[in-house]
Amino acid sequence: MAYLIALAIWAAGWFINAKLANGPQSDTRGISLLIPIIFGITIVAMWEVLVTMLGVSPIILPPPSMIAARFATSIPMLWADFEQTILKGALTGYIVGMIAAFAVALLADRSDFLTKGILPVGAFMAALPIVGTAPIFVKWLGSDWESKAAVVAVMVFFPILVNTVAGLKDTSAMQRDLMRTYGAGYWPTLFKLRLPAALPFIFNGLKIATTLALIGAIVAEFFGSPTVGMGFRISTSVGQLALDMVWAEIVVAALAGSAFYGAMAFFEKRVTFWHPSQR
């Protein structure tokens, strides 16, 4: 019975979406927003029906309604965790790492030799499992948010560095010659031509770094933290088999991650409106 209802929900959702997607107005903004929302609702509804009707233990998979209830009743706690992990840990680290990456990128940019050296080393470091630095930083800086910020700063440093250095190279000889005919020196060329031209690359790095920042801040808390924070709450709630709390934290992480990424994408749109990919 449960399977039949789930199947019916799936069929209904799919039928509506197929109609909408193949319909005449499928490329309008509203419809292309509506289709994934219907898909999401379909999945959540199937999840609810299957879990409650089949009597799946909430220790394995709590139904969405239970997660929503838990979310609603523990907003103060979730907010404290959010503040500790995202606002203090991830955001501070992100800003520090970003500034450091820009500084090194500008330094590397002044010499061809350094650029050639930093790009491969940076690309190599960006692929490393940097989360492994978490126990080291927790030992050095204590278990509060400072150590999380340090982990995040190191994690976001390399992607931003590699993209910024690559972006600063992305001007044609013709454009640079034009600047020279205007009599522009290094700094005016940097600010008027090369930095704006590098912005699409820089934002690419910044967008990749948003997810890394959250991952770094949450994972670093597995190695020691005060009694607040998303990583702390996830690991202790897992220990207590309070999976609804874990899922509530995941919802917070998902919302925060999407909002952070969305904010970066919004700035990108405002600043690089001239780029072909934004038109």
Residues in contact with other proteins by the rule CB under 8 A: 14, 17-18, 20-22, 26, 32, 35-36, 38-40, 57, 59-61, 113-118, 120-121, 124, 127-129, 131-133, 135-136, 138-140, 210-211, 214-215, 218-219, 222-223, 230-231, 234-235, 238, 241, 243, 246-247, 249-250, 253-254, 257-258, 260-262
Cβ 182 to other proteins shortest distance, Å? 31
Alpha helices per DSSP H over the chain: 2-22, 29-53, 64-73, 75-82, 91-109, 112-126, 134-141, 145-168, 173-181, 186-189, 195-220, 230-239, 243-271
Q: By C-beta, is 129 or 185 nearer to other proteins?
A: 129
Cβ 132 to other proteins shortest distance, Å? 4
List b or e across 14-46, with b for residues whose CB sees 16 or more CB atoms inside 10 angstroms: eeebeeeeeeeeeeeeeeeeebeeeeeebebbb
Q: By C-beta, is 179 or 202 nearer to other proteins?
A: 202
Cβ 47 to other proteins shortest distance, Å? 14
Q: By C-beta, is 202 or 243 nearer to other proteins?
A: 243
Q: Please give the Cα distance from 151 to 133 (Å, whole number).
A: 7
Q: Please give the Cα distance from 194 to 187 (Å, whole number).
A: 10
Cβ 248 to other proteins shortest distance, Å? 11
Cβ within 8 Å of residue 85, ≥6 positions away: 145, 148, 217, 218, 221, 229, 230, 231
Cβ 8 to other proteins shortest distance, Å? 18
Q: By C-beta, is 167 or 216 nearer to other proteins?
A: 216
